[in-house]
């Protein structure tokens, strides 16, 4: 990707973090100190620019989550789940990700962005696959009950997502971590 295109995408993301999807091409060009017409040399319209920026950011976001699962898969399941929860809360505490998370949530059900839906589905499946492998390893090591199922993995993922999507915006990161730790302690009692 050329440098100008990258700068346009970065400026768009910074503005998106402040204004959500209401960012205008005039704002983007103003932030870069270029004429609005210059943007059309790189993107046919605002939707194409927003779409590409969000695809890249969604890819980066999921890559970080997947990287954490791959690089920390040697930990005990409890240590992994706790570390991953804290990592996700920390990652999602960045203000710009609030808009990105909301956008991802809407996009999953919005058929206007099929390429992004496919990307989110693929990356979500990779994340779930990595997490499932960790649960299977923990079962084999007798770390958790044999009866622990995919349902239990969903409980963890949905609760973590709920804490991130709802709690983190209304309360502090510290309070979100405290709530997550309380949940994890109760959850761990159920699966062990």
CATH number at residue 88: 1.10.357.10
Q: Are residues 116 and 32 in the same domain?
A: no
**What pLDDT, on a 0 to 100 scale, did the predictor assign at position 110?**
59
At residue 2, the pLDDT reads 81
Inform me whether the pLDDT recorded for 45 exceeds 90: yes
Joined together, the tokens standing for residue 146 give 């044999």
Same domain flag for 69 and 11: no
| Domain interval for residue 162 | 51-191
pTM of the model: 0.79
Q: Same domain, yes or no, for 31 and 117? A: no
As a whole-number percent, the residues of the chain with pLDDT over 90 amount to: 41
Reported as a single tens digit per residue, the pLDDT across 111-126 is 566 777 777 778 778 8
88-102 pLDDT, tens digit per residue, is 888 887 766 666 666
- Asked if 35 and 59 sit in the same domain, the reply is no
CATH of the domain at 3: 1.10.10.60
pLDDT at 108 (0 to 100): 56
Residues 158, 118 share a domain: yes
Considering only CA atoms, which of 12, 14, 8, 17 is closest in space to residue 103? 17
**One domain, residues 33 and 83:** no
Per-residue b or e along 88-118, where b marks 16 or more CB atoms closer than 10 Å to that residue's CB: bbeebbeeebbbbbebbeebeeeeebeebee
Question: Are residues 35 and 55 both part of a single domain?
Answer: no
Percent share of the chain, pLDDT over 70: 89
């Amino acid at each position: 990707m050329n440098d100008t295109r990258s700068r346009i995408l970065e400026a768009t993301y910074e503005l998106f973090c402040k204004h959500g999807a209401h960012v205008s091409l005039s704002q983007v060009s103003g932030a870069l100190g270029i004429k609005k017409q210059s943007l059309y040399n790189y993107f046919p319209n605002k939707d194409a620019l927003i779409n590409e920026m969000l695809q890249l950011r969604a890819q980066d976001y999921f890559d970080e989550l997947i990287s954490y699962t791959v690089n920390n898969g040697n930990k005990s399941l409890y240590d992994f789940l706790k570390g991953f929860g804290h990592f996700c809360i920390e990652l999602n505490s960045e203000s710009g990700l609030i808009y990105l998370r909301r956008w991802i949530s809407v996009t999953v059900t919005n058929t206007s962005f099929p390429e992004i839906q496919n990307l989110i589905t693929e990356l979500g499946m990779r994340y779930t696959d990595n997490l499932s492998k960790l649960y299977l390893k923990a079962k084999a090591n007798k770390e958790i009950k044999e009866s622990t199922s995919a349902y239990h993995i969903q409980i963890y993922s949905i609760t973590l997502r709920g804490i991130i999507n709802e709690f983190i915006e209304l309360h502090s990161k510290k309070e979100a971590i405290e709530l997550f730790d309380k949940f994890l302690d109760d959850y761990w009692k159920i699966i062990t």
